[in-house]
Amino acid sequence: MDLMSDLQAEGKNTINAPLLHPGPELLPEDMLLEENSEKTILDPTSREDLNFKDLQKVLIDWINSELEEDRIIVKDLEEDLYDGQVLQKLFEKLSGHKLNVAEVTQSEIGQKQKLQTVLEAVNGVLRPLDWSTEWSVDSIHSKNLVSIVYLLLALAIYYVAPIRLPEHVSVKVIVIKKKEGILQTAHVTKQLTSTTTDMMIGRSERDAFDTLLDHAPDKLNVVKTSLITFVNKHLNKLNLEVTELESQFADGVYLVLLMGLLENYFVPLYNFYLTPESFEQKVHNVSFAFELMQDGGLQKPKARPEDVVNLNLKSTLRVLYNLFTNYKNSE
């Protein structure tokens, strides 16, 4: 996946003046590094970064929401995820597949074996997307917060978690390497998140719209023009007009109104937000529009409401194309 690879390459290449001697941030155990081995620790200033803290809270709330039925409550990503237990449950919930691992493992060996199984399953899902991994059994088990966050972000993006990830979050890490008996340190900036739109590009099942976007932009424009003509034919009745499919359906208002026009009924204003302001209100509107589509006999849209709100073009196209094929002859 080009985007994530670019982000990770950028992080690896943003190196500020290596120090050729142990700095004050080094711990006694760092002196025990083997020759030419490397260790990464989070810069103390980044640990207190408000955007990074906000990102952790969003991820914690998401995990707790997903695992509510299991009565699992995560309070700290480092302390609660390192042994693989929560990661196992989270992956099983997201993927719908049970992993063949022991339920409870107290020993370090057992914990690492569980982590190995979980990470192999995660990496197997991500491998077709060429997703560069920024985590390992050792980094997760050693409570490397940056690795844990990278792993959770990959799962959240791949499985299209119904959350809004803070944008442009980056942290500084200290890379410690032992060379000829001397510890060298370098400060590296790791970009964790980019824009919401860019992050969502990283995941989606391949279909006709993926092919159009990747290989036939000229044909994609023909499809978009046809869809704009179709929706405006109906929305014009309310003196409304669409020029940008990417953005004008993102708050769900036009979708709701369009369904009312297509099915010839008035949608009561108390059922949706006419001027939504928050992410949650927009998701409500799109979800409500999806319900109206199903009430009209259409199949449940493949896209998730959050995809449409997050300006995911392919998801919006899928929804509108479904309406077009079912209502193209409607007056």
**Cβ neighbour number for residue 300 with a 10 Å cutoff:** 10
pLDDT digits (tens, 9 = 90+) for 103-143: 777 788 989 999 999 999 998 887 766 677 889 999 999 99
Which of these ranges, 59-68, 95-104, 193-202, has the smallest mean pLDDT?
193-202
The CA-atom distances, in angstroms, between 257 and each of 180, 240, 250, 309 are 70, 10, 13, 16
pTM over 0.85: no
Q: Is there a shared CATH topology between the 28-200 domain and the 204-328 domain?
A: yes
Domain 204-328 = CATH 1.10.418.10: yes
Superfamily of domain 28-200: Calponin-like domain (1.10.418.10)
Instruction: Please report how many Cα atoms fall inside a 13 Å half-sphere around the Cα of residue 46, on the Cβ side.
Output: 19
Q: Please report, for the chain, the start and end positions of each structural domain, with discontinuous segments joined by +.
A: 28-200, 204-328
pLDDT band of 177, cuts 50, 70, 90: confident
Q: What does the alpha-carbon distance between residue 184 and residue 175 come to, in Å, rounded to a whole number?
A: 8
Q: What does the alpha-carbon distance between residue 72 and residue 264 come to, in Å, rounded to a whole number?
A: 46
User: Burial, 122: exposed, middle or buried (Cβ in 10 Å; 0-12, 13-18, 19+)?
Assistant: buried
- Mean pLDDT throughout 217-235? 84
Q: Is the model's pLDDT at 101 over the cut of 70?
A: yes
- Mean pLDDT throughout 239-263? 92
